Amino acid sequence: MSRAAQSKPAPAVKRPGGGGGSGGDAADGGRLHDDLSSLRVADPATESCPVCKSSRYLNANLRFLVNPECYHKMCESCVDRIFSHGPAQCPLPGCKRTLRKHRFRVQTFEDIKVEREVDIRKRVALVFNKREEDFEDLRAYNDYLNDVEDITFNLVEGIDVEKSNQRLESYRSLHADEIAANQHLAQEEKMSYKELQKQERQQAKLRREAAHREEEEERREAAETKRDMLNRLAMGTEDAETVAKEGQQVQLKRRMDRQAAAERQRQLQAASDMNNGSSNLVIKGLKSRKAPEPEAPIDPFGGLSFEGRQYYNLQDEYTWEVIQNPKKDKVVRAGGYDVMEQFGGRALCEAFSGLGVFVADETSEGVKGEQDERVAGTRRAEVGAKDVKMEDPF
Amino acid sequence: MKFFIGDLPVLFPYPRIYPEQYAYMCDLKRTLDSGGHCVLEMPSGTGKTVSLLSLIVAYQQFYPEHRKLIYCSRTMSEIEKALAELKALMKYRADQLGEVEDFRALGLTSRKNLCLHPSVKREKSGSVVDARCRSLTAGFVKEKKERGEDVELCVYHENLDLLEPHNLLPTGVWTLDGMARYGEQHKQCPYFTSRRMMPFCNVIIYSYHYLLDPKIAERVSKELSKDCIVVFDEAHNIDNVCIESLSIDLTEDSLRKAARGASNLERKISEMKDTDAQKLQNEYSKLVEGLQAADEARDEGAFMSNPALPDDLLKEAVPGNIRRAEHFTAFLKRFIEYLKTRMKVLHVISETPPSFLQHLKELTFIEKKPLRFCAERLTSLVRTLELSNIEDYQPLQEVASFATLVATYDTGFLLILEPYESDTATVPNPILHFTCLDAAIAIKPVLERFSSVIITSGTISPLEMYPKMLGFNTVVQESYAMTLARRSFLPMIVTRGSDQGSMSSGFQTRNDPSNVRNYGSLLVEYSKLTPDGIVVFFPSYLYMESIISMWQGMGILDQVWKNKLILVETPDSQETSLALETYRTACSNGRGAVLLCVARGKVSEGIDFDHHYGRTVLCIGVPFQYTESRILKARLEFLRETYRIRENDFLSFDAMRHCAQCLGRVLRGKDDYGIMVMADKRFAKKRNQLPKWISSALMESDSNMSVDQSVATAKKFLKTMSKPFPARMQDGVSTWSYEDLMQHKGKIDAERQLDGPMNGDADAYNMHGDQIMNEAQGADGMDVDADFDAAMNSMDV
Ligand code: SF4
Ligand SMILES: [Zn+2]
Ligand SMILES: [Zn+2]
């Protein structure tokens, strides 16, 4: 049993930082990583349990389990024995972690490091699940992938674990909605893919059966023709040559008929596939549904802007009594309204409404709006290129 | 002799021409003129290669386009033969024209055959030679040298850079030997000379793989222009070559090695981080920008090339999650670990690529896209790390190729995991086959890129099967009969033993003692009556072994032994070549010998048994493929679903093409003669799947014989053959001199005049091969056609 020594875990576990993080699965991946390198599975035929030392050589049905808390491997019966009565400490020397029975599971990968890596990836993938179509361009997506991989890699290799975990968590809380939406999408895709596969298998089976039937039929017919021919020959009334010729022709004709029929069938099938494909068919190659855009605040005017200032500027003062008077009126000011805004703004707005169409804006040929000729507080929009003079309303 | 086909003057290096050669050339020209693909079947031993070359060279030299010829063949010896023929042809042309044309032709084969480096060339395995050569010639090695580091370079390769890049080699036809000699004299590498001179050649002769295998084609054949004329000679197996070029097998061992390779890479990366982090950073930023492809292309010795076909390559930047070197190695390790886990399953699994990817993603979070970039990313990494011992990374390269392929193709491929080697094995030895099912995938880029692709062979019947399987349309599709002045080969189908018990290698009866005894007595009889050599083909090694041991028990071998030496082909090629040598010696010194071999083995494909080396070929049983093979089953299903080729049709087609190959082994020319015996009752129904030239010589009366009948016929045949038959008897019938040729041409023209108003004479020169053949056969008085028609109409279709 020279192998036993080899598969024993590293006896001394250095803990320079002094205990601490036993919280998350991989909170202190760095040290774990060191331990794990000695834990590679040896030759499966002579593998033995590090706890009770029974080996597969003696017991062919030996099954090993690991717990994602520390990834120490032990045999099923040891797990039963030690953890049946509730959580207990890992029996391996140096490992002080508390393990629960229900978290033990069969190891999927031979390399325990990969086993652990995949667990971490699972955790990361649940959070960082953006898709390519969420990004403006490929470059951005690739950069995103790169960042995610950095975080994952750090977690796996135990570099800056704290910081990486933090980044993960903060992202999770920031983008909770998006994450959920994409998760939903992925789930849906998976379901439809499974469904599709099932149907395809079904179809393939049907086609196979059809092909067999066809062949069977052909064989039967050939036999029949032959029998028929022999019978006729046996009667001896006809010339052998002609009988043979006829036989051939019958067979040829049948084959042609069958081919034609198959062709028709195929066309029909194709047609029906196209027409009522919706009945129970899963449609292939659909682009996965777009995630709905985040809802904007309600805009009752459908994007119409009232910031009509494009055409005029509100000045601080107007020597116009319609404005000046209310400004002095306590009753009016009591409400706290800005008189200029209310009265002046309204008046200007009314004056300019209906002038919404500006040729210069539409043709985009340089609104030469820089001619700030303030006539009574308005700016005249000038159409330079086309020489269309706007009448000044005032 | 010199003659015209239409306006094209053809110089043919022999004074006489066979009618079928002339017909073949006419059809070739028709194909080239119309710019399309064709399938042509030309009887073996009728000078296919020389007709092909003389027509195409004439075409090249006459028309201003000077279309380049790419001639692909299967084996080294065939390539050598073609080069030798071309050399003779060019010499003849020079004599006739009075000047040496400005013409360059060369062959290309693997480094293993061409290498001159004193230590590299001694390596046994071709892939090791490739890898070692790469580590002596790669671009970064040279850079290192320039930086003053102590690295080894290959002088033969270095010297090339001193020469003018378009004139590494004088004009002329270069055989492989000639090239090696020239290389030795001028201290320049023949392999790279050939490769670099390819754009400056009129004719290139190389193996199929340089065009069909995307891993090689990408590097070697990329620069060939669209109007090249591509010829696939001996193309009856082309579908299998296509399929193999895209299939990959992985074993536990190779995965272990790949994992080791990945760990090595990891180590190298961390080493480089300590010493030269800048380099890794440079690579990284290049990948971010997506600049990879451009400078990859220039490196002719690079580690590996993308296994996916050029049309299917994703041309975008490498995905972000494998951009960093350490991320990528971790990615590879995870993928390999996943594959290892899959290998542990103890039952057979067959799975489509999408479902494999789905499972992979669920288990390891590996997405399809980075997987697709595996090959490219690995190449870049190897370059950056400047690895010198590239051969250690081959298994890893294989895994990367697999990754790229499986993520690129959804259909036409299948993954089959076989945990046990055979049904009876108890110790698992799993193999993961990633098998291509669709031959059309690999050849599609070739057919699309080149305007004329000519697919030709001695046995490529039924012709319509190939366009169907490979997915293309032909402009000409023709099979030629063989014109013979006398019946010089005798095909027979033996269905019964002398005891009237039927003979068959069918599954139920194959080991019946009476069946085996009948086969035995067939062999004994023929060993008595045949002068010199007999070649016997069995459907498989397994069956051959069992039948030989039964014959041993029945004392049949002893009886054969009295007449002839017995030699056996084995899967070991060295043993087989020894057996062959002995066989030839025995035939030459007059005693004669019997060679027992397998219909799909080496002997059936590449070895000729001309003249006394083969007077009789016995085909024992129909050489069906082993139908229980899962890969074959998957392919059959695919053919049925996609191309509507029925399973039985395909199996029967495949068996008959191999059978025809075997039969064709003994007849290698018109002055040769031989007996062809197909011994199985099932052959009677398959006779019209034989190539036209064999089936038209197979008489109705010879297609259902018993052993003693066939022996009597064979004796009679040999008696006529032993009479002297002066060559001049063939004149005007099976060989034409120039006068004969003109006379026949005149006759055809006259006929055409008769139905002139119908045809018009717009394409008067565009003679059709079949017209010529009809005419030729009409002249020789042998009523072959009637017989052939009878065969076609035979009711056992
Ligand atoms: S460059 Fe040529 S001679 Fe040198 S090792 Fe490579 S193949 Fe051999
Ligand atoms: Zn235990
Ligand atoms: Zn533990």
Q: Map tokens 């067999």 to a residue.
A: A212
Nearest to residue B780, comparing CAs of B742, B731, B727, B737? B731
Query: For residue B716, what pLDDT is reported?
Result: 93
Our mutation pick for probing the ligand 1 site, out of B156, B161, B179, counting the most ligand atoms within 8 A of Cβ, is: B156
* Closest-CA residue to B604 (of B590, B615, B618, B584): B618
Q: Which of B427-441, B546-560, B725-739 has the lowest mean pLDDT?
A: B725-739
How many beta-carbon pairs under 8 angstroms link A with B?
81
In B, minimum Cα distance to A153 occurs at B327
Please check the confidence at residue A249 and state whether its pLDDT lies above 50: yes
Q: Residues B789, B790, B792, CA angle at the centre, nearest 5°?
A: 60
Task: Kindly report the average pLDDT of chain B as a whole number.
Answer: 87
What pLDDT, on the 0 to 100 scale, is given for residue A357? 58
Write out the residues of chain B at the interface with chain A, using a CB-CB cutoff of 8 A. 288, 316-324, 326-327, 330, 333-334, 337-338, 340-341, 354-355, 358, 363-365, 637, 640-641, 646-648, 793, 795, 797
Query: Residue B523, SS3?
Result: helix
Tell me the C-alpha to C-alpha distance, in Å, between residue B326 and each of B271, B333, B377, B381. 12, 11, 12, 10
Q: How many CA atoms lie within 13 A of B773 on its CB side?
A: 22
B265 in Cβ contact with B390 (< 8 Å): no
Per DSSP, helices labelled H in A276-358 are: 321-328, 330-334, 339, 346-352
* Shortest alpha-carbon distance between residue B213 and chain A (Å): 30
Distance B105 CA to ligand 1 centre (A): 21
| Per-residue pLDDT, B627 | 80
Are the C-beta atoms of residues B543 and B621 closer than 8 Å to each other? yes
Per-residue model confidence (pLDDT) at position B766: 53
Q: Angle at the Cα of A12 (from A10 to A14), degrees rounded to 5?
A: 115
**pLDDT of res. B477:** 92
pLDDT at A2: 41
- Give the Cα separation of B496 and B298 in Å (integer): 64
**Phi/psi at B592 (5° precision):** 85, 165
Helix or strand run (H / E) with residue A65: strand A64-66
What's chain B's length in residues?
797
Asked whether residue A269 carries a pLDDT value surpassing 60, the answer given is no
b vs e for B695-722, b when ≥16 Cβ sit within 10 Å of the residue's Cβ?
bbbbbeebbbbbbbbbbebbeebbeebe
Name the residue at shortest CA distance from atom 5 of ligand 1.
B133
In chain B, what residues touch A211 (CB-CB under 8 Å)? 640, 646-647
Residue type, B786: A
Whole-number Cα distances in Å, A33 to A166, B333, B767: 20, 16, 78
A135 — contact with chain B (CB < 8 Å)? Answer: no
- Cβ contact B452:B229 at 8 Å: yes
Q: In one letter, which amino acid is B742?
A: M
Q: Which tokens sit at B46?
A: 């009728």
- Cβ neighbours of residue A120 under 8 Å, at least 6 residues apart? A25, A26, A29, A152, A155, A156
Question: How far apart, in Å, do the first and last CA atoms of chain B sit?
Answer: 44
Three-state helix/strand/coil letters over A2-16 = HHHHHHCCCCCCCCC
CB-CB under 8 Å, B320 with A149: yes
pLDDT digits (tens, 9 = 90+) for B34-58: 989 999 999 887 889 999 999 999 9
Residues of A in contact with B648 (CB under 8 A): 215
A156/B333 Cβ within 8 A: no
Residues in chain A: 394
B153 with B136: CB under 8 angstroms? Answer: yes
Q: Do A110 and B340 touch (CB under 8 A)?
A: yes
Site of tokens 């032909």: B474
- Of B334, B347, B472, B343, nearest to B403 by C-alpha is B334
| Residue type, position B273, single letter | K
Tell which residue, B500, B496, B596, has the closest CA to residue B547. B596
Compute the distance from residue A75 Cα to the ligand 2 centre, in Å: 4
Q: What Å distances lie between residue B59 and B163, B249, B716, B771, CA to CA?
A: 32, 43, 46, 22
Q: A118 vs B317: CB contact, 8 Å cut-off?
A: no
B333/A111 CB distance under 8 A: yes
Indicate the residue of A118, A138, A193 with minimum beta-carbon distance to B365.
Answer: A118
Ligand 1 atom nearest the C-alpha of B114 is 7
The listed range with the strongest mean pLDDT (A108-117, B40-49, B144-153, B352-361) is B352-361
Q: Indicate the pLDDT class of residue A295, thresholds 50, 70 and 90.
A: low
pLDDT one-digit tens code per residue, B273-321? 998 889 899 889 888 887 655 455 445 556 667 788 877 777 788 899 8
Evaluate whether B636 touches B243 at the Cβ level (below 8 Å).
no
**For residue A125, which residues of chain B lie inside 8 Å, CB to CB?**
365
Contact assignment for A251 to B797 by CB distance below 8 Å: yes
Q: Of B59, B139, B60, B68, whose CA–CA distance to B106 is shortest? A: B68
pLDDT category at A389 given cuts 50, 70, 90 is: very low
Distance CA B309, CA B171 (A): 33
What lies within 8 Å, CB to CB, of B310 at 6+ separation is B214, B218, B222, B445
Share of chain B above pLDDT 70, in %: 93
Residues 6+ apart with CB under 8 A from A35: A9, A10, A13, A95
- The ligand 1 atom at the shortest distance from the C-alpha of residue B189 is 2
Residue B17's DSSP bridge partners are: B736
To the nearest 10°, report the CA torsion of B109, B114, B115, B116.
-170
Beta carbons of B510 and B720 less than 8 angstroms apart: no
pLDDT at residue A358 is higher than 80 = no
Among chain A residues, the shortest Cα distance to B641 is held by: A207
Q: Distance (Å, rounded) from C-alpha B83 to C-alpha B90? A: 10
Residue A152: closest CA among A186, A126, A177, A180: A126
What pLDDT score was predicted for residue B392? 86
Asked if the Cβ–Cβ distance from B288 to A215 is below 8 Å, we say: no
At B431-483, the pLDDT tens digits run: 999 999 999 999 998 999 899 999 999 888 888 899 999 999 999 999 998 88
> In the structure encoding, which two tokens stand for residue B61, read together?
């030299």
Which pLDDT belongs to residue A107? 85
Q: What is the distance between the alpha carbons of residues B348 and B71, in angstroms, rounded to a whole number? A: 41
Q: Which residues share a beta bridge with B597?
A: B537
Q: Residue B794 — pLDDT band, cuts 50, 70, 90?
A: very low
A109 touches chain B (CB under 8 A): yes
Per-residue pLDDT at B174? 93
In chain A, what is the straight-line distance between the N-terminal and C-terminal CA atoms, in Å?
106
- pLDDT tens for each residue of A174-221: 888 888 998 999 889 888 888 888 898 898 888 888 888 888 888 898
The residues with which B674 forms a beta bridge, in sequence order, are B489
Does B621 or A305 have the greater pLDDT score?
Answer: B621
- Which tokens belong to B460? 């490529």
Q: How far apart are alpha carbons A144 and B230 in whole angstroms? A: 47
Q: Which two tokens stand for residue B370?
A: 């980075």
Strand partners, B462: none
CA A112 – ligand 3 centroid, Å: 13
CA distances from B163 to B93, B153, B168 (A): 30, 17, 6
Cα distances (angstroms) measured from residue A94 to each of A37, A90, A98: 15, 9, 12
* Cβ–Cβ under 8 Å, residues B319 and B373: yes
Residues A181 and A130: beta-carbon distance below 8 Å: no
Note the pLDDT of residue A359.
Answer: 57
Question: Quick one: angle between helices B556-563 and B541-554, nearest 10?
Answer: 90
**Residue B287: which of B373, B388, B367 has the closest Cα?**
B373
3-state DSSP call for residue B559?
helix
Residue B136 is encoded by which pair of tokens?
A: 């002596």
Alpha-carbon span A7 to A4, nearest angstrom: 5
- Strand-strand pairing, B349-351 and B413-418: antiparallel
DSSP A298: P
User: What is the per-residue pLDDT across B160-175, written as a single tens digit (0 to 9) for each?
Assistant: 988 888 888 899 999 9
Would you state the pLDDT for residue B591? Answer: 84
Q: Report whether pLDDT(B569) > 50.
A: yes
Shortest-distance atom of ligand 1 to CA B192: 2
Give the burial class of B101: count Cβ atoms within 10 A of its Cβ; 0-12 exposed, 13-18 middle, 19 or more buried: middle
pLDDT of residue A367: 41
Tell me what the mean pLDDT of segment B683-698 comes to.
90
Q: Kindly state the tokens that stand for B264.
A: 């090595």
Assess whether the previous peptide bond of A297 is cis (omega < 30° from 0): no
Give the number of other Cβ atoms within 10 Å of residue A261's Cβ: 11
All residues of chain A having their beta carbon less than 8 Å from the beta carbon of residue B363 are 108, 118
Residues B366-412 have pLDDT tens digits of 999 999 999 989 988 988 888 878 888 989 999 999 999 999 998 89
Q: How many Å is the maximal CA-CA distance in chain B?
A: 88
With a cut of 0.85, is the ipTM above it? no
Give the position of tokens 């992202």: A171
Cα of B357 to nearest chain A Cα, Å? 12
B747-763 pLDDT, tens digit each: 877 776 665 444 444 44
Mean pLDDT over B207-223 rounds to 85
Q: How far is Cα of residue B518 from the mean position of the Cα atoms in its chain? A: 35
